[in-house]
Structure 1
Amino acid sequence: MSDKNTLIVEGKLSDNERLKRESRHLRGTILEDLSDDLTGGFVADNFQLIRFHGMYQQDDRDIRGERAKQKLEPLHNVMLRARLPGGVITPQQWLEIEKFAEESTIYGSVRLTTRQTFQFHGVLKPHIKTMHQTLNKTGIDSIATAGDVNRNVLCTSNPIESVVHKEAWQWAAKISEHLLPKTNAYAEIWLDGEKVDSTQEQEPILGDNYLPRKFKTTVVIPPLNDIDVHANDLNFVAIAENGKLIGFNVLVGGGLAMTHGDKSTFPRKADDFGFIPLDKTLDVAAAVVSTQRDWGNRVNRKNAKTKYTLERVGVETFKAEVEKRANVSFEASKPYEFTERGDRFGWVEGIDGKHHLTLFIENGRILDFPDKPLKTGVREIAKIHKGDFRLTANQNLIVAGVPTDQKEIIESLAVKYGLKPASISPQRLNSMACVSLPTCPLAMAESERYLPEAVTELEGMLKKHGIADESIIYRITGCPNGCGRAMLAEIGLVGKGPNKYNLHIGGNKAGTRIPKMYRENISDTEIMDVIDDLIGKWASERNDNEAFGDFVIRAGIVKAVVNSAEDFYE
């Protein structure tokens, strides 16, 4: 057991701690900023505080220079990320959000994200309040989808085993509600709600200064690791017996973000704390969050996430504190195995007799493209669909709960509007990117806009080497913050600068191994030459059914990352 003095990091607190402390429970002066028409953005602390309300201030970086020449400020706008536990949304809700995107955003698109929800991009200041009120009327909000709080709770989205999936999703929704901020700030600012005295408000789980850093939670149903558990702070692995959910194995301390040039930062896998019965789920969730609240690093935000707290205080010390706070003793973990990732495309039938159609949406961008009017297609399906939609953590869309008599018409609409093309290569289905340029202020290199052509090159390499039906889990992220989850890919590109990336290889199909850096700060052309050579070796030297990530480790091309804190950079 660590000495109590080692549990708290001493030193000057980061300025974000002052910001949160002085914010009057996340209100700041956001209302005053909204009425300021001299700028299209939010100023001072409000630039950060709007994140707790689900928004990031951005601008179009493609035109930033031109506007500066005209002595204009950047074209400030916000990106909003909705709160949608488990990614479930009704067709009626979809029609409303799609209408808002069409009428009131710069880009006109709805984007499905790796956080299993949707984002609006390009909302100008005059439309922000309308956006929140439009969402509220449909039963959706964006509370705590960004900032130092527990964010949108992910859940296995492919409803193969409908009974277990339904129970798991219900727990995802309960966890989300349980860990939400209790402040009335969101309702006051965006919904014209009744104002309350912020000094009388309390945050029993998150605390008055909220968390040291962002916090991510998931519920996953093995054997499908479709939400990448090791990318998250807290994970509930569903354990079922005889088709009934009996409890969860709890995994804590995963995370993928790092900082270029700072070896005190690194991606990390989550640790398995053990099994809990269902009735202890919310208690354990609150205990993990509150322990991180109290012990997390509030001095250095680069080391503030749960993964660094576990490394600093020790896994067993953290686990014991969770047991104490939740009044629970973790049992030995129940057996489970992750055998696959990603989404199961096409039609599947659930045990309730209803059908579910998973549609591939490249980069999650739902827009009417010249040859693929995807947005129109989803709208037409939403008009007649009797079930619901499930957004996946891999940026795809499931038309779920389709009765047999509606299956044919849903299929025909999907084909008509390019949502279900005749063929998509396995490689394209297993590739993913974050948004990056031109809107993300953190982006260092292209990601979403580069991915399609990069995949086309990979498809050509696989064909050249005689393995066109094979695929590699391939991901690009425009900066080291990890939104594209490249640090759980077999091949992961991490943006370093304009047209420059760090190349990582050696992750595995199950998503339980972090890839190793193989080349640093090289161009996309150089990367493709390296990958071509590696694919050639894989094709000719691999064992039967050996995946690319496993091959490069067995062949000694890179060492396996076993303990990131010790061997990620060696």
Structure 2
Amino acid sequence: MSSQSKVSKVESIKLASRNLRGPVDLELNNPSDHFSEEGYQILKFHGIYQQDDRDVRKARKAQGLGPDYSFMIRVAIPGGVLQPEQYLALDRLADQLGNATLRITTRQAIQFHGVRKGGLKPLIQVLNQHLLTSLSACGDVVRNVVACPAPFSDRQRAEISQYAKALSDRLKPRSRAYYEIWLDGEKAASLEEVEPLYGQAYLPRKFKIAFAFPGDNCVDVYTQDIGIVPWLEKDELKGFTLLVGGGLGQSHGAKDTHPVLAKPLTTIKPEQLFEVVEAIVRVQRDHGRRDERKLARMKYLVEAWGLERFKTEVEHYVGYSLPEAQPLTWQCADDHLGWHEQGNGQLFFGLFVENGRVKDHLRVAIREVVKRLNPEIRLTPQQNILFTNIQPGDQATLEAILREHGVELPGRIPLVVQQAMACPALPTCGLAITESERVMPQVIREIDTLLSRLDLQTGPIPHVRMTGCPNGCARPYTAEIGLVGRSLNSYTIYLGGSPLGDRLGEVYLDNVKREDIAARLEPALMAYRQQRRENESFGEFCHRVGIEFIREQIGASVEDQPSAAG
């Protein structure tokens, strides 16, 4: 733990938790429908968020009732890989204990929403029966390890997938609390358990790791605390390039918080990966801020120290010098939708899932595909699903199942819709300032109408991402168009992120009403239509000409321009 004398309230709760037991173990079976604040903070380490329905808060308060509590459970799935029987088990749980939906996250996890307190233990026990866990899917630990999900059958992809799974296993907390509380495991003989990596106070804040495949940045590797990019020579894995200090969260009005992209630290040999990654985690554990949680992410430590000092400290922990980082180049950041050959005679199919929410007819269709064709499932960092190991003879069957249930196939969906993402936000996220998932379908189709009217549906189509608060869960700050909740029904618009995910956008307009978003984007898109270079994306155009130039295009006539929905 860092030497700071003052620690935040959450730090004190962690230290008093008996290695993530209390007070969850004492409150789980009491008659209350929710946990105390202390219990809620420790629940996160078990992959659980306590929430309430914010749509009914005022009405319930007027009736003298408390909040309508429910829980979100996040299932940690390294690299997003699920066997068919595991997916079907998750699907059943959505009906039995959740709100009949599954939510694919931007970290390749699955979230259940609407779970009541009495359903927590039964749900986790079923997860365990299917070799799944919610342990450390949330909380101040290394969370679900992300990896490029494309199942191409070359040896390098298989190696990287194995490294991601092995690293995830190594970085799990060692406390027996999860097994004791949820799985009726035998209580530890001593509560003085050793957490060799995390220590008694765990990390100062959440910690995110992702593996990208060389040239393919579908995981948004620069937004991670540690980004890992394999170094290949003649198709041989020679090592890994490590990036450090990325993170997107910020607070409105707090000038000392801001999104940051990760920076190249070193390129190491494969056999060094685990010890160097663990050393980086330990540096953050020992030196990250514990007095102020909004400044506790590792990105602020890297910024405060500078990359060279940070690297020197990591070298001190591993006991040897680290070489310079190899340069990185990127060709794409797409999400592998549609049909692809795996390279082993089989196919995989990427299915668009709007905002990651699997529900209604889509959920029925996916269930039938899994039951009939038995594919391995891979969840993507852009909230979609890959059906893998499909026999060529089953291609028509898969498409027929989807069409039968009214599911649109990639290629028939507007590209701007297909590339969009939104966070859950209201009504359950306690941090949400305004809407995101519930309004994004309308907003993105208004933008699609605008693109069509401006004849911008050919060539590069902008990536649009929305969040209901500035924490950035849907990664809006690296998008070409980022929409970030500012206040009720109001958003900050960011422009100029890179379609390859290696540049942040800048503030274009603040406090834009939701119904005005498309109209406010129109002058910028008109300028793009008139002045873009050949094959230049909207994000690259905004970066080239500058945000100030684009603001000048707004002029006094914007109020007179028809909205995209008109």
Q: Does residue 545 in structure 1 map to residue 535 in structure 2? A: yes
Counterpart in the other structure of 1:429: 418
Q: What letter corresponds to residue 22 of structure 2 in structure 1? A: G
How many angstroms does 1:304 deviate by? 0.5
Residues of 2 paired with 1:413 and 1:525: CA distance?
36
Counterpart in the other structure of 2:58: 65
Cα deviation code 1:251-301 (max 9, x no counterpart): 000000001111100100101012111101110110010000001001111
Structural mapping, 1:255-266, within 5 Å = 255-266=247-258
Q: 2:505 aligns with which of 508, 515, 519?
A: 515
Q: What letter corresponds to residue 262 of structure 2 in structure 1? A: A
Q: What letter corresponds to residue 398 of structure 1 in structure 2? A: L
Q: 1:249 aligns with which of 241, 245, 251?
A: 241
The answer as to whether partners of 2:450 and 2:518 remain within 8 angstroms in 1 is: no
Counterpart in the other structure of 1:26: 20
The answer as to whether partners of 2:443 and 2:517 remain within 8 angstroms in 1 is: no
How many angstroms does 1:406 deviate by? 3.0
Structural mapping, 1:338-353, within 5 Å = 338-353=330-345
Classify the secondary structure of the residue corresponding to 1:418.
coil
Counterpart in the other structure of 1:179: 171
Over 3 Å counting, the alpha-carbon distance change for 1:196 and 1:344 in structure 2 is same
Q: 1:477 aligns with which of 467, 484, 488?
A: 467
The answer as to whether partners of 2:491 and 2:513 remain within 8 angstroms in 1 is: yes
Cα deviation code 1:328-353 (max 9, x no counterpart): 43333334312221312111011222
Query: Identity rate of aligned residues, in percent?
Result: 38
Over 3 Å counting, the alpha-carbon distance change for 1:480 and 1:498 in structure 2 is same
Cα deviation code 1:353-398 (max 9, x no counterpart): 2211000000111111xxxx11111111111233310000100000
The answer as to whether partners of 2:494 and 2:505 remain within 8 angstroms in 1 is: yes
Counterpart in the other structure of 1:291: 283
Q: What letter corresponds to residue 89 of structure 2 in structure 1? A: E
How many angstroms does 1:556 deviate by? 2.8
The answer as to whether partners of 1:9 and 1:297 remain within 8 angstroms in 2 is: no
Structural mapping, 1:409-420, within 5 Å = 409-420=397-408
For normalisation by structure 1, the TM-score amounts to 0.93
How many angstroms does 1:408 deviate by? 3.0
How many angstroms does 1:9 deviate by? 6.6
The answer as to whether partners of 1:252 and 1:270 remain within 8 angstroms in 2 is: yes
Q: Does residue 74 in structure 1 map to residue 67 in structure 2? A: yes
Counterpart in the other structure of 2:563: none
Counterpart in the other structure of 1:564: none
Residues of 1 paired with 2:119 and 2:157: CA distance?
37
Counterpart in the other structure of 1:16: 10
Q: Does residue 325 in structure 1 map to residue 288 in structure 2? A: no
How many angstroms does 1:197 deviate by? 4.0
The answer as to whether partners of 2:495 and 2:547 remain within 8 angstroms in 1 is: no
Classify the secondary structure of the residue corresponding to 2:157.
helix
How many angstroms does 1:533 deviate by? 1.2
Residues of 2 paired with 1:516 and 1:397: CA distance?
31
Over 3 Å counting, the alpha-carbon distance change for 1:471 and 1:9 in structure 2 is farther
Structural mapping, 1:383-402, within 5 Å = 383-402=371-390
Counterpart in the other structure of 1:443: 432
Residues of 2 paired with 1:112 and 1:197: CA distance?
38
Which has the higher mean CA deviation after the structures are superposed, 168-177 or 544-553? 544-553
The answer as to whether partners of 1:9 and 1:298 remain within 8 angstroms in 2 is: no
Q: 1:458 aligns with which of 426, 447, 450?
A: 447
Structural mapping, 1:196-207, within 5 Å = 196-207=188-199
Q: 1:556 aligns with which of 529, 546, 550?
A: 546
Residues of 1 paired with 2:497 and 2:386: CA distance?
27
Counterpart in the other structure of 1:563: none
Task: For structure 1, list consecutive stretches of 5 or more residues without a partner in the other structure.
Answer: 1-6, 561-570
Residues of 1 paired with 2:491 and 2:275: CA distance?
42
How many angstroms does 1:74 deviate by? 1.1
Residues of 1 paired with 2:396 and 2:243: CA distance?
41
Residues of 1 paired with 2:388 and 2:506: CA distance?
37
Residues of 2 paired with 1:522 and 1:313: CA distance?
36
Residues of 1 paired with 2:441 and 2:222: CA distance?
26
Q: 2:43 aligns with which of 44, 50, 59?
A: 50
The answer as to whether partners of 2:34 and 2:117 remain within 8 angstroms in 1 is: yes
How many angstroms does 1:420 deviate by? 4.0
Q: 2:517 aligns with which of 519, 527, 535?
A: 527
The answer as to whether partners of 1:111 and 1:365 remain within 8 angstroms in 2 is: yes
Q: What letter corresponds to residue 400 of structure 2 in structure 1? A: S
Classify the secondary structure of the residue corresponding to 1:50.
helix
Residues of 2 paired with 1:167 and 1:418: CA distance?
38
The answer as to whether partners of 1:240 and 1:247 remain within 8 angstroms in 2 is: yes
Q: Does residue 222 in structure 1 map to residue 200 in structure 2? A: no
Cα deviation code 1:482-507 (max 9, x no counterpart): 10100111111111111011111111
How many angstroms does 1:466 deviate by? 1.1
Counterpart in the other structure of 1:490: 480
The answer as to whether partners of 1:358 and 1:398 remain within 8 angstroms in 2 is: yes
Over 3 Å counting, the alpha-carbon distance change for 1:159 and 1:550 in structure 2 is same
Q: Deviation above 4 Å: which 4+ runs of structure 1?
A: none
Which has the higher mean CA deviation after the structures are superposed, 394-403 or 411-420? 411-420
Classify the secondary structure of the residue corresponding to 1:339.
strand
Q: What letter corresponds to residue 465 of structure 1 in structure 2? A: L
The answer as to whether partners of 1:492 and 1:515 remain within 8 angstroms in 2 is: yes
Q: 1:500 aligns with which of 485, 490, 497?
A: 490
Q: What letter corresponds to residue 514 of structure 1 in structure 2? A: L
How many angstroms does 1:8 deviate by? 5.4
Cα deviation code 1:387-436 (max 9, x no counterpart): 31000010000001113333332232233223443601111121110000
Counterpart in the other structure of 1:568: none
Over 3 Å counting, the alpha-carbon distance change for 1:271 and 1:559 in structure 2 is farther
The answer as to whether partners of 2:289 and 2:296 remain within 8 angstroms in 1 is: yes
Residues of 1 paired with 2:122 and 2:191: CA distance?
28
How many angstroms does 1:146 deviate by? 0.7
Counterpart in the other structure of 2:76: 83
Q: What letter corresponds to residue 32 of structure 1 in structure 2? A: L
How many angstroms does 1:478 deviate by? 0.6
Counterpart in the other structure of 2:261: 269
Over 3 Å counting, the alpha-carbon distance change for 1:119 and 1:439 in structure 2 is same
Residues of 1 paired with 2:481 and 2:158: CA distance?
33
Classify the secondary structure of the residue corresponding to 1:183.
coil
Counterpart in the other structure of 2:557: none
Residues of 2 paired with 1:187 and 1:319: CA distance?
37
Q: What letter corresponds to residue 213 of structure 1 in structure 2? A: R
Classify the secondary structure of the residue corresponding to 2:430.
coil
Classify the secondary structure of the residue corresponding to 1:336.
coil
The answer as to whether partners of 2:377 and 2:386 remain within 8 angstroms in 1 is: yes
- What RMSD over aligned residues (CA atoms) do the two structures have, in Å? 1.7
Q: What letter corresponds to residue 510 of structure 1 in structure 2? A: L
For normalisation by structure 2, the TM-score amounts to 0.94
How many angstroms does 1:557 deviate by? 2.6
Paired residue total? 548
Residues of 2 paired with 1:550 and 1:483: CA distance?
23
